[in-house]
Chain A
Amino acid sequence: MTKKIEAIIREETLNDVKDALKKIGIVGMNVIDVRGHGRQGGITLVGRTGTYQVDMLPRVQVNIVLSDNNVERTVNTICSAAKTGNIGDGIIFIYPVEEVIRIRTGERGHAALMYEGDIDTLPVAGG
């Protein structure tokens, strides 16, 4: 089975998350700028006089498609890199993926997800 991970994280943690994912062999991903809010509701900004509330905050959404057996390790990696411990660290959604097709070669399924040096070819660190 193939899964898609949507991780909505703080903008300022993106570089750490990217680096950590690279280390465990997550090669392909895309990133979208999103706005929204969860439990924390919003932030306070400073105007000409005093402050005002903004309820839609900028976040980035990291999209990764990968094999079932790699999901847990990837999720753990994202969590530890994106966590600040403060409210607003983000959320991760996981979906099943029907099919994957690489446009250049026409490969399908697992073959379309394979890269050289990716998570399936690297040895598990410390394991």
Chain B
Amino acid sequence: MTAINSGDTAWVLIATALVLMMTPALAFFYGGMVRKKNILSTLNLSFIVMAVISLQWVVIGYSLVFGPSIGGLIGNLNYLGFTGVGVAPNATYAPTIPHVAYAAYQMTFAIITPALISGAFVERVRFKTFLVFIVLWATFVYGPVAHWVWGEGGLFHSLGVLDFAGGTVVHVTAGFSALMFAKVIGPRRGFGKVTMEPSNIPFTVLGAGLLWMGWFGFNGGSALAANGIAANAIVTTNTAAAASGLMWMFLSWRDSKPSVLGIVTGAVVGLVAITPAAGYVTPMAAILIGMVAASISYYAIKFRQARQLDESLDVWACHGMGGLWGCLATGLFASKAVNPAGADGLLYGNPSQFLVQALTVVIVIAFAMTMTFIITKALHKVMGLRVSPNAEEVGLDISEHGERAYS
């Protein structure tokens, strides 16, 4: 029953590499949108997460999420330091690949999630504090939420919530934590008064392109097997990205011109929204999911701007709201005809699935925001969240790292 399948293993190993690539891709996606005095700092806020969370995951993170459940709330410490995470498959989660391959694949999700949040507080965050924040956040926010949704015996997993590749676990938690972090840290100096022009939109296009490609591993790999579900996930992923990118283009065109920054943002938002649904819905449903996602995030950005809130790179609008929509959409469009291991959604005569999705996402939002509030307020008191006003004017590349991007 737990024989290793080489095809499945090969695909998950490749998917692991694809998803890991998404974090440097995100670095460029974000880096291009900040002013040139903060571009290295912004790239690094993603890159360094690969180093920090890789260690956190091996030492404790994996065990908190996928260790045997303690009351549905958190995994126990059985897998501390990857103890017992070896070649033999973990029959509960991935019976056809080595346990260590599953743990490595999951690590890449744990890495990109805190990196996503960094878009909220670029150009002003104190680097030292950020390092502590990501460890605390990965341990006390990502750990529990991922366990509730994905862990065997986890709170919402037991209720039957569907989150194929992390719409809730990754994007809703990151997006709403970003919103809270931005509120606590406050706006950049001069926000709303001086123009903060993106310094390198080509970097952002490059990052978005690599994210699109990497997402095939993110969603396709979440089948944990080289099979039809993986293929369907890749097709729905691609379809939603396409529909959302186009939709954003039309919205932007209607307001002024078809912005390239807008088009690539739209594609990423489509990828976010399809994430929880990818393995459960049809390609036609993916078109709808993508188009609606673009509309929601587009107007969420306008709403955020109207509120004068400096959630700088719109992590909430794109990942939080895109992920929220994707999670609910999974409860609408999921079909057992696509994936017998899934469930039918509201449109297939099962309204209770929609309610489970809604309940999960509401509690996850409340939890993520509360915990992020506590962590950021505590760090603000103990270490300080932001650099000095002068350091901020000089730019974080020089003031935090002693380097400049261009000479």
Contacts and interface: CB of A to CB of B under 8 A. Distances in A.
Interface string B194-233: 0101100000000000000000000000000000000000
B257 A46 contact: yes
A46 B195 contact: no
A65 B295 CA distance: 57
Nearest to A45: B197
Nearest to A44: B256
B195 A47 contact: no
A49 B298 contact: yes
A48 B265 contact: yes
A50 interface: yes
B302 A47 contact: no
B400 interface: no
Nearest to A49: B301
A54 B198 CA distance: 11
Given A45-B197, A55-B195, A50 B261 contact: no
A54 B265 contact: no
Per DSSP, are chain B's interface residues mostly helix, strand or loop, or mixed?
Answer: helix
A46 B197 contact: no
Nearest to B196: A52
A45 B261 CA distance: 11
Nearest to B255: A50
A52 B305 CA distance: 12
Contact of A50 (B197, B265, B302, B314): B302
Contacts of B252: 46, 48-50
A76 interface: no
A55 B194 CA distance: 9
B256 A50 contact: yes
Contact of B261 (A44, A47, A53): A47
Interface in B228-264: 251-252, 255-257, 259, 261-262
Contacts of B255: 49-51
Interface string B286-300: 000000000000110
Contacts of B251: 49
Contacts of A52: 195, 197
13 contacts: A46-B259, A47-B198, A48-B252, A49-B251, A49-B252, A49-B298, A50-B255, A51-B255, A51-B256, A52-B195, A52-B197, A54-B197, A55-B195
Interface of A: 44-55
